[in-house]
Homo-oligomer: A and B are copies of this chain.
Amino acid sequence: MLIDPNSDVASPVYFEDMTVGRHFNTGSVTLDEAEMIRFAEEYDPQPMHTGAGAEHDPLFGGIIGSGWYTAALTMKLVVGGELRSDARGRIGLGIELLRWPTPTRAGDILTAVTDILETRPSTSHPDRGIVKLRTLTYNQRREVTQELIANVLVPRRPA
């Protein structure tokens, strides 16, 4: 379930809008247990993620979501949130940091906030700029479930 707080905001966000210090919110997504396990069975089939004996796991004591699932859901939140792009899309140039300080569990409600850290024009793509951003993904207790720092190629506003 994805709730978008900006469903009436049609305009995309361009490089010119992504000024240092600004932050951009997203809607929320609730972790569905079946989808979380299906993702793990397909892409990260470790017992702590698929549930095979996870209730006995000494570290987590139950099924936790794969970090890659948290990353995918965060991308979903960002693409559908205040940071929506135009049709050219945004290209991830590289991720400098990705970590999962708090495990996710079924029923968690995730939301994300992106802060703009640095910006510079792209020399190779005059119609785009490069933005370094940090996206924090929170659960319903405001614990950070994911921290992401990335450099992204972002479309400029058309002339």
With A and B bound together, what is the CA distance between A68 and B72 in angstroms?
6
Can you name 7 A-B residue pairings with CB atoms under 8 Å? Answer: A44-B76, A68-B71, A68-B75, A92-B100, A93-B99, A94-B98, A98-B98
With A and B bound together, what is the CA distance between A99 and B42 in angstroms?
22
Interface size class of A (residues with CB under 8 A): 35 or more
Interfacial residues, chain A to chain B (CB-CB below 8 A): 39, 42-49, 52-53, 57, 59, 66-68, 71-73, 75-76, 79-80, 85, 87-100, 125
Min Cβ gap A14→B in Å is 15
A80 closest partner in B (C-beta):
B45
Residues of A contacting B: mostly: mixed
**Residues of B contacting A73 with CB < 8 Å?**
43
With A and B bound together, what is the CA distance between A91 and B46 in angstroms?
10
Q: Taking A43-B72, A59-B125 as given, write out 19 further A-B residue pairs in contact, using a Cβ cutoff of 8 Å, ordered by the A residue number.
A: A42-B72, A43-B73, A44-B72, A44-B79, A45-B79, A46-B85, A46-B89, A49-B89, A52-B87, A59-B91, A68-B68, A68-B71, A68-B72, A71-B71, A72-B72, A92-B99, A94-B99, A95-B98, A95-B99
